[in-house]
Amino acid sequence: MVMIAVIGAIYLEILVQSRSVREVWMVTQDVAAGTRFTTDDVRQVTVPETGDHILYYRGNPIASGRRAGHSLSAGHVLADDDLLQRNMVLVPVNFKSAPPLSHGDVIDVYTLLGTKTIQVGKGLPVESATTIWVPAVDEPDWITLQANNAPLYAATSSGIGVPAVSGLGIQDAVASLAGSLGGQSALTPPPLVPSSPPPLVPGSPTPRASPTPAPSPTR
């Protein structure tokens, strides 16, 4: 009887889940990072409840003016981590060096402070070649960098595999790159090998002066 009750409970749970549904937002066309959602980009659909633990986005991305946090493909169902933070602002930037940038790219940003290269932005959506989206709380910092003509460098990046470093000097970078090639670091001096003493060459005998003949006696 206990076994029958357990089987019945499992069957009932499966039946309930199969009839449960949830409303989600599905992407209807490819969307670039930083794009503000409109009715052309997403629509609400009903899907069966599968019991998974995905944090589907439950708000209204159109009414709340939400933007894509990264590139999204048609048919994708919106989750919380697919959207930018709620408070994002658009700031101007002048890069000293950057790859060709266009709307929807995602970049990491670095600056040079003294002799150290420091990362100041990670996974930031590009609006244009001279404007990027940043958290609103960082707005004064970005404007300060721009006002002081801080040298900014950008890299298009998904963030996967990029190490977090507090600051990197040129010697650290060279040593790291040399190490990643599997060779000896360019900054490591080769081991000292004692030099062999020069071979001893027997010296030539010093020529002895010939004796000077004594003068003949004068008669």
Inside any domain, residue 194: no
Tell me, yes or no, if the pTM score tops 0.75: no
Structural domain of residue 138, as residue ranges?
88-180
Mean predicted lDDT score pLDDT of the chain: 81
Is residue 159 within 8 A of residue 107, CB to CB? The reply is no
Residue ranges in the chain whose pLDDT is less than 70 = 1-19, 50-52, 183-219
Locus of tokens 């989750």: 79
Inside any domain, residue 6: yes
Count up the domains in the chain and report the number: 2
* pLDDT at residue 56, rounded to an integer: 87
Q: Do 77 and 100 fall within a single domain? A: no
CA–CA dist 47, 30 (Å, integer): 21
Inside any domain, residue 95: yes
Q: Do 104 and 161 fall within a single domain? A: yes
CA–CA dist 173, 187 (Å, integer): 11
Cα 68 from chain centroid?
19
Q: Do 94 and 157 fall within a single domain? A: yes
Q: Do 110 and 30 fall within a single domain? A: no
